[in-house]
Amino acid sequence: MKALAARRRHPAAIAVLILLGLLVTGGAYSFLAPKQAQATTVTADSVAQGKKLFIGNCASCHGLNAQGTGEGPSLVGVGAASVDFQVGTGRMPLAGPAVQAPQNPGKVKFDEAQIAALSAYVASLAPGPAVPDGEYTTPIAPGDEVAAGQTLTNSQRIARGGEIFRVNCAMCHNFAGAGGALTRGKYAPALTGTTPTHVYEAMITGPQSMPVFNDTNITPAGKQEVISYLDAIDNQTNVGGMTLGNLGPVSEGLFAWVFLLGLMIASAVWLGKKAA
Contacts of 182 (CB under 8 A, 6+ apart): 172, 188, 209
Compare residues 128 and 189 and give the one whose CB is closer to other proteins: 189
145 binds other proteins (CB under 8 A): no
One-character DSSP codes across 42-60 = --HHHHHHHHHHHHHHTHH
DSSP assigned state of 256: I
- CA 80, CA 77: separation in Å to the nearest integer? 9
Query: For 194, phi and psi rounded to 5 degrees?
Result: -80, 135
Query: Considering only residues 15, 17, 23, 265, which one is a binding residue for other proteins as defined by CB under 8 A?
Result: 265
3-class secondary-structure state, position 180: strand
Q: Is residue 230 within 8 Å of residue 165, measured between CB atoms?
A: yes
**Interaction between residue 65 and other proteins (CB under 8 A):** no
Contact 203, 230 (CB under 8 A): no
Q: Does 184 bind other proteins (CB under 8 A)?
A: yes
- Residue 177: name the closest of 222, 101, 234 by CA: 234
Pick the binder of other proteins from 59, 61, 108, 159 (CB under 8 A).
159
Size of the site for other proteins (CB under 8 A): 67
- Interface with other proteins includes 249 (CB under 8 A)? yes
Exactly one of 180, 210, 217, 220 binds other proteins (CB under 8 A); that residue is 180
What is the closest distance, in whole angstroms, from the C-beta atom of residue 133 to other proteins in the complex?
26
Q: At closest approach, how far in Å is the CB of 144 from other proteins?
A: 9
- Looking at the Cβ atoms of 26 and 255, the one nearer to other proteins is 255
Least distance between other proteins and beta carbon 209 (Å) = 13
* CB closer to other proteins out of 84 and 231: 231
Please tell me the total number of residues recorded for the chain in this structure.
Answer: 276
In the bound state with other proteins, the residue whose beta carbon lies nearer, of 30 and 236, is 236
CA distance 140 to 232: 9
Residues that bind other proteins (CB under 8 A): 99, 142, 152-153, 155-156, 158-160, 162-163, 166-167, 170-176, 178-185, 187-188, 229, 232-233, 236, 238-244, 246-257, 259-261, 263-265, 267-269, 271-274, 276
